[in-house]
Structure 1
Amino acid sequence: MPYAIELFLDERADGRVRQIWGALDTHGISSLGSIPDTHYHPHVTLSGFDHGDPTQVARALRPVLVNSVGMPLVLESLGFFLTDEAPVFFGVVPSPPLLALHHAVHQVIEPLVAGIGPHYRPGGLLPHCTLAVGVSDRARVLDVVSRFPAPIPARAAGAHLVQVPGGHHSIQLTTA
């Protein structure tokens, strides 16, 4: 089962993203939070992989991620991936601390896992917080999201190793 290494957002930013998820749902755009049988949290993904022992990966990542709690994350732009899944997202400012953390995570996991997605490798990361997938009406998304103040200042509230799709199983990697 594939896994993602995610930074969950602080309570205030989490609440703001969930408000936007709710507004998208109200306007006929299925948000990440409304996908049936899932348990997603607003998050920024540091990496994802298809194969590896999650317990071993979690043990190796904990020392790397211990200082991630409190890291500033600024959700500043609205974007769309032009793929079959058609996700819409808030782009996260790729700050030097975020990129350094991303690089450190990869140094640890690359010997332990297989199937790291190309968009999550160092040099290829576009940090983001997904709002919805399967978006066909980008203008409607822009209309809904532009009603909310931006940028959204956030802090990492914790790091988790999350089973995807669905977010049903999560291993907490840090404590606040």
Structure 2
Amino acid sequence: MLTGVAEALDFFLDDAASARVMEMRARLALAGVPVPAHAPSVRFARGASIPKKARGDLATELRLLVLPELWFAVFGTILTAEPRLVLAVVTDTELLAAHVSVHDALAGRVREPSSRYLPGSWLPHCALSREIPEETLPDALRELHPVTPIRAKVAGIGITDTRTGEVTRLR
């Protein structure tokens, strides 16, 4: 189980895709829905800590990795104790291969890895809201309807300290 401190490997979206996600978050915020403050991204891994040595090895591996284009074509919720609105990424073989490569580079090096982000369990998505009470979900969904798909390129990769939001860029 993760302690209060966590670090995550995030793939950040290009400016055009990021602007579209931020516009959707702004619409939700105006409707009173809590939204993330961090830049739009897709989280590839998370653990209590990602040590410096692992970061260096990962940065080297990432330089060799061909990053796929992301296709956000699913709008929905992640069902936790209180749901979150998300844009989910279509998982094709290129995306899954990139995800496996990341986890191969991190294998045995991340303290307390989160099982939600391991290959076979991962649901790639970009958060539109923070957790919201279930009864507000229909209004929040209506606020964004209709949603059109977004194509995104990966513009950067970094390790995010989930407490402070500080990002250490790897690529």
**TM-score calculated relative to the size of structure 2:** 0.89
Residues 161 and 52 of structure 1: CA distance in aligned 2, closer, same or farther (over 3 Å): closer
Counterpart selection for 1:170 from 137, 142, 167:
167
Q: Please tell me the root mean square deviation across aligned C-alpha atoms, in Å.
A: 1.6
The 1-side partners of 2:92 and 2:158 are apart by: 20
Q: Give the Å deviation of 1:87.
A: 1.7
Aligned length, in residue pairs = 165
Structure 2 match to 1:2:
6
Give a deviation string over 1:123-173, Cα, whole Å, max 9, x none: 11110001111222121121122144x101111111111111341x21111
Structure 1 match to 2:144:
145
**Matched residue SS, 1:105:** helix
Q: Give the Å deviation of 1:51.
A: 2.9
Q: Give the Å deviation of 1:108.
A: 1.2
| 1:108-147 pair list within 5 angstroms | 108-136=105-133, 137-147=136-146
The 1-side partners of 2:26 and 2:124 are apart by: 22
Counterpart selection for 1:29 from 33, 38, 54:
33
Structure 2 match to 1:73:
70
Q: Give the Å deviation of 1:118.
A: 1.3
Structure 1 match to 2:61:
64
| 1:46-57 pair list within 5 angstroms | 46-53=44-51, 55-57=52-54
Structure 1 contact 91–128 (Cα < 8 Å) conserved:
yes
**Matched residue SS, 2:153:** strand
The 1-side partners of 2:62 and 2:92 are apart by: 16
Structure 2 match to 1:36:
none
Q: Which consecutive unaligned segments of at least 5 residues does structure 2 have? A: none
**TM-score calculated relative to the size of structure 1:** 0.87
Residues 69 and 27 of structure 1: CA distance in aligned 2, closer, same or farther (over 3 Å): farther
Residues 27 and 68 of structure 1: CA distance in aligned 2, closer, same or farther (over 3 Å): farther
Matched to 1:129, the amino acid is C
Q: Which consecutive unaligned segments of at least 5 residues does structure 1 have? A: 34-39
Q: Give the Å deviation of 1:86.
A: 2.4
